[in-house]
């Protein structure tokens, strides 16, 4: 049972029979269908059904020449909007299934962003056609959360915001130079990190950590595509799972200058999400590669 089914409103699916019925419905009443030829023995078919605005389930099924076969794997997803990053992307296959992870090196975050690829069949086809080499691609990130907490925003005046933006631009330039081996940039970043650590250590003695840290994006748990995030809510929309009637929040967040959408069950959110406030959660990061 995929634990993140609950994130898109399927918390009532508890038995294998209920899961099989849901996946059979997804295949039979699909919204989209894609196919990739794997070898002379079987094809890989992808079926996506939308169960609410931009949320749904994708089922990947191996089919032989007669069209027979059983589903291979499935995953719930949220279709993001816009472009999150134009940074270079590396793709790695997971284990023995046609399941892939994307690795994105975006200087705004400072760590490698690893995400679960939502469009594996499209990637397989592009790779078979040899269209990946030298091709400029982008990624649209999105995430699923099982629960979350809404925090009040930090007080910022115009001068503080301009200073923060300037510091962020300077840091991104230093990170970009450091990745290319610039020794002076590496030394500057080291000194800057030491200075930040010293300031935070002094302030945390008298202040709550969330009045100091405005936003963060860091790995969470053992799975490489799970992250703990804190970001500003830019947009908020209430939607419902059309099959179960569960209310969900679709939140557009600004996390370390990365803009992406998060879907979370409304009943599992502590606080009232509104634009300008902050949202904290552990998320499963997904991405749609735009070829």
Are 49 and 26 within 8 A, CB to CB? Answer: yes
Domain membership flag for residue 149 = no
Are 85 and 255 within 8 A, CB to CB? Answer: no
Assess whether pLDDT exceeds 80 at residue 184. Answer: yes
Mean pLDDT of 163-185: 75
137: which residues sit within 8 A by CB, 6+ positions away? 89, 289, 290, 291
Domain membership flag for residue 86 = no
Distances in whole angstroms, Cα of residue 200 to Cα of each of 33, 187, 189, 194, 197: 51, 20, 16, 10, 5
Mean pLDDT of 56-60: 96
Assess whether pLDDT exceeds 90 at residue 55. Answer: yes
Domain membership flag for residue 161 = yes
Assess whether pLDDT exceeds 80 at residue 179. Answer: no
Distances in whole angstroms, Cα of residue 129 to Cα of each of 36, 47, 105, 121, 122: 11, 22, 25, 12, 11
Assess whether pLDDT exceeds 70 at residue 189. Answer: yes
Domain membership flag for residue 68 = no
Domain membership flag for residue 163 = yes
pLDDT above 90 covers a percentage of the chain that reads 57
Please report the pLDDT score of residue 267 as a whole number.
Answer: 96
Mean pLDDT of 132-149: 88
- Range of the structural domain that residue 166 is part of: 156-213
**9, two tokens:** 């409103």
Please report the pLDDT score of residue 47 as a whole number.
Answer: 95
Please report the pLDDT score of residue 158 as a whole number.
Answer: 73
* pLDDT band, very low/low/confident/very high, at 23 (cuts 50, 70, 90): very high
Domain membership flag for residue 131 = no
State the residue for tokens 């020449």: 65
Domain membership flag for residue 277 = no
Please report the pLDDT score of residue 252 as a whole number.
Answer: 97
pLDDT in tens, 3-13: 999 999 999 99
Mean pLDDT of 137-159: 90
Please report the pLDDT score of residue 10 as a whole number.
Answer: 96
Are 62 and 42 within 8 A, CB to CB? Answer: yes
Question: Chain-wide mean pLDDT for the chain?
Answer: 88
Domain membership flag for residue 228 = no
* pLDDT band, very low/low/confident/very high, at 135 (cuts 50, 70, 90): low
Mean pLDDT of 142-153: 96
pLDDT in tens, 240-265: 999 999 999 999 999 988 999 999 99
Please report the pLDDT score of residue 173 as a whole number.
Answer: 77
* pLDDT band, very low/low/confident/very high, at 134 (cuts 50, 70, 90): low
State the residue for tokens 């300037």: 166
What is the number of structural domains in the chain? Answer: 1
Please report the pLDDT score of residue 121 as a whole number.
Answer: 94
Assess whether pLDDT exceeds 70 at residue 67. Answer: no
Assess whether pLDDT exceeds 70 at residue 201. Answer: yes
């Amino acid at each position: 049972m995929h634990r993140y089914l609950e994130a898109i409103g399927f918390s009532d699916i508890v038995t294998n029979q209920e899961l099989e019925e849901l996946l059979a419905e997804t295949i039979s009443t699909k919204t989209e269908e894609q196919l990739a030829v794997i070898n002379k023995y079987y094809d890989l078919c992808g079926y996506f059904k939308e169960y609410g605005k931009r949320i749904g389930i994708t089922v990947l099924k191996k089919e032989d020449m007669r069209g027979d076969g059983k589903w291979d794997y499935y995953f719930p997803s949220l279709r993001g909007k816009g472009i999150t990053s134009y940074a270079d992307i590396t793709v790695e296959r997971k284990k023995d299934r046609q399941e892939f992870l994307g690795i994105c090196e975006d200087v705004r975050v400072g760590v490698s962003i690893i995400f679960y690829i939502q469009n594996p069949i499209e990637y397989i086809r592009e790779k078979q056609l040899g269209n990946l080499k030298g091709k400029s691609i982008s990624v649209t990130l999105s995430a699923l959360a099982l629960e979350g907490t809404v925090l009040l925003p930090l007080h910022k005046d115009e001068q503080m915001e301009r200073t923060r933006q300037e510091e962020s631009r300077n840091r991104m330039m230093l990170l970009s130079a450091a990745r290319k081996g610039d020794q002076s940039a590496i030394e500057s970043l080291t000194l800057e990190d030491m200075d930040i650590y010293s300031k935070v250590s002094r302030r945390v003695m008298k202040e709550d950590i969330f009045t100091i840290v405005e936003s963060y994006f860091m790995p969470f748990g053992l799975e490489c595509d799970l992250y703990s995030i804190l970001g500003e809510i830019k947009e908020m929309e209430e939607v419902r799972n059309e099959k179960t009637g569960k209310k969900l929040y679709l939140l557009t967040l600004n996390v370390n200058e990365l803009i992406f959408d998060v879907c979370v069950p409304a009943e599992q959110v502590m606080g009232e999400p509104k634009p300008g406030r902050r949202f904290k959660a552990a998320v499963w990061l997904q991405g749609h590669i735009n070829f």
